[in-house]
Amino acid sequence: MKINSQSGFTLLEMLAVLSIVLVLLAVTPILLKPQSELLQERTFFTQLQTDLFYAQNYALAHQKTVYIQINPADKRYYIRGDLKTGRIVDRIYHDSIKINEDAVPIYFTITPSGNVSKFASYRISIGSKKYLFTIQIGRGRFYVKKQ
């Protein structure tokens, strides 16, 4: 006995599945945008903090003054030693991160004793969120506070 079985999907079933997949693909970027902003925020602050601690340790270990410059117009910051040493760290950060909207370069140094040369507060905005990055005089005292 021969059974003629044709298994497959009807056009209606295929359209229903395709519609569900398209809806899921359309909703995914909307759901991931806040996660992307949160990831950029955490990555930037973690990297900046790590680089500043590294600069402080470098100054202490080599007994040299370390110079930190943040260029908001170029979306980058770098840490350098003397002319012979050159740049120790050179980072480019994401376009959505704005440091001091007036785009004036920020300079400060870390002395061979590990102290920061000047204290200041800088406004940082990432998307719609605003932060205050504060550098205090003393040994590596800096923090970020959400406004």
At 111-133, the pLDDT tens digits run 998 888 888 888 988 878 899 98
At 42-64, the pLDDT tens digits run 888 889 989 998 999 999 999 99
pTM: 0.72
> What SS3 class is residue 58?
helix
**Phi and psi angles of residue 17, each rounded to the nearest 5 degrees, phi first:** -65, -45
**Phi and psi angles of residue 20, each rounded to the nearest 5 degrees, phi first:** -65, -45
Q: What are the structural domains, with CATH classification, of the chain?
A: 37-146 (3.55.40.10)
> What SS3 class is residue 17?
helix
